[in-house]
Structure 1
């Protein structure tokens, strides 16, 4: 009887130990807990109460329950995990308990992307939620292990390309997260194109370089990739444009001066009209009217005797 009880206790302890869940930042983590629809349920993150469902169906949320956490039956789902989400998760359902451990692993290479040959790089592996004293180290398929969670590559070589593994131990078990490193070879310098035999520049006079023995055109032939006659044409064109602009300015000034002079002359010159110095003619008598007789003498009164 005692043997059966001890065997049941061992099975309960193994089931209560749960499992280790390894996630990268931004992924989702799921924690199962017994039946899908239990009568009572409690989820704890470390020593913090996340949520409690009583037999009456009432839910009580704690500080550890946020907008990234939700329940699906008795399963706890944490989306977009962060480093602070790592640690121990305990589930109490129908007087039974289960325990899970969330480890958040971040592996990265700095700089990111393809690493040029000969450049410096750094590999980092950070594991949140490990027990104290756990070891973290880098290994690669074509090389030995490194005894640190950070690897400094002072000069990247072609042999550094491949899959790197970040290994760590937890509760006596070894876990690993991989990172692929890509090395970019330096492109060989491209040779300069050979000059064409039919080009005009080849017919220009050249002189050999005393240091390298390579024939180069004299400095008066090419300047900024153009021949001397091109620069001469450009200079003559610029001179013609400047002379035309000066001529236009002089003509405009002369026209303005002439207009002002004509206006002044119009203002000073008086206006004369034609006048005739002849005596005025007598007014003609009006026709159709009778001449008036001169008034007669006034009658004087008769003298009395």
Structure 2
């Protein structure tokens, strides 16, 4: 069951089939959106207990590669009809009216006559057709090769249809004159840079030597030898905090009496 509608109350009930989410009722018709190939098959509508069957066919036509086909390339045209009874005939009709007798057409290679409207035809109670428009374009032309100067040991060999300017195309050791000029200018620039670097290095060394000499001249002179004088050492100072002892009195001499 997809959808059931009560004629009296108008209440609807939906089933669990995968097509239910994309289906809706419009009056007495079933509307299916975003139709897929698996939707094809027989549908039954019951009204007042009377069944009415309807067969849904899903047709898809495609070209691989898609878009505009290039002349001389390969392409495949495919016509698929889902829900068709087994044994039914599906075939392509070319733009010129010829029938291919198959639902798959291989274009090897793609020709100008393949451009136009292709029709996929099949029968189910009556004849149906689905069209596919094919466009064919020619590949982009390849540019002609540039003329080259042919040199050979044989002096009779010449370049046909070549206009040679002796100033612009003159070769020296396989290179043009402007290439040698560029090489000479580049070498001159390199030599000047080397000379500049050498001069700057010498100037920096001279400045460093001059600064080192000035630093040495500013240092005070220090003698490695010192004068020594021999003189008696001074008496030791009495220690502070101690009481100085008085010298002892000399012994009394006896007085001589006459």
- TM-score w.r.t. the length of structure 2 is 0.67
TM-align CA RMSD:
3.4
Residue 45 of structure 2 is aligned to residue 91 of structure 1 = yes
CA, structure 1 residues 244+177, in 2 after alignment: closer, same or farther (shift >3 Å)? same
CA, structure 1 residues 81+255, in 2 after alignment: closer, same or farther (shift >3 Å)? farther
Counterpart of 2:86 in 1: which secondary structure?
Answer: coil
Match of 1:254 among 199, 202, 206: 202
Q: CA deviation at 1:174?
A: 1.6
Counterpart of 1:269 in 2: which secondary structure?
Answer: helix
In the TM superposition, what whole-angstrom CA distance separates every residue of 1:68-108 from its partner, at most 9, and x where no partner exists?
A: 32333333222221111112222223434333222111111
Residue 62 of structure 2 is aligned to residue 108 of structure 1 = yes
CA, structure 1 residues 252+69, in 2 after alignment: closer, same or farther (shift >3 Å)? farther
Contact 2:116 2:133 in 1 (8 A): yes
Contact 1:209 1:215 in 2 (8 A): no
- Count residues with an aligned counterpart: 209
Q: 1:31 is matched with which residue?
A: none
Q: Within 5 A, what are the aligned runs for 1:111-150?
A: 111-150=65-104
Structure 1 gap ranges (5+): 1-48, 194-207, 274-305
Contact 1:120 1:153 in 2 (8 A): yes
In 2: Cα distance, 1:176 partner to 1:209 partner: 70
In 2: Cα distance, 1:51 partner to 1:255 partner: 100
Q: CA deviation at 1:191?
A: 6.9
Q: 1:51 is matched with which residue?
A: 3
Q: CA deviation at 1:146?
A: 1.1
Q: 2:179 is matched with which residue?
A: 231
CA, structure 1 residues 92+217, in 2 after alignment: closer, same or farther (shift >3 Å)? same
In 1: Cα distance, 2:165 partner to 2:156 partner: 10
In 1: Cα distance, 2:46 partner to 2:193 partner: 96
In 2: Cα distance, 1:167 partner to 1:73 partner: 32
Q: CA deviation at 1:272?
A: 6.8
Structure 2 gap ranges (5+): 147-154, 222-258
In the TM superposition, what whole-angstrom CA distance separates every residue of 1:152-210 from its partner, at most 9, and x where no partner exists?
A: 1112221222211111112x3221111111222345666799xxxxxxxxxxxxxx983
In 2: Cα distance, 1:86 partner to 1:211 partner: 74
Counterpart of 2:62 in 1: which secondary structure?
Answer: strand
Q: 1:269 is matched with which residue?
A: 217
CA, structure 1 residues 65+113, in 2 after alignment: closer, same or farther (shift >3 Å)? closer
- The structure showing larger relative contact order (alpha-carbon pairs under 8 Å, at least 6 residues apart) is 1
CA, structure 1 residues 236+271, in 2 after alignment: closer, same or farther (shift >3 Å)? same
In 2: Cα distance, 1:144 partner to 1:239 partner: 75
In 2: Cα distance, 1:209 partner to 1:99 partner: 90
Residue 117 of structure 2 is aligned to residue 163 of structure 1 = yes
Q: Within 5 A, what are the aligned runs for 1:292-303?
A: none
Q: CA deviation at 1:147?
A: 1.7
CA, structure 1 residues 68+248, in 2 after alignment: closer, same or farther (shift >3 Å)? farther
In 1: Cα distance, 2:12 partner to 2:133 partner: 48
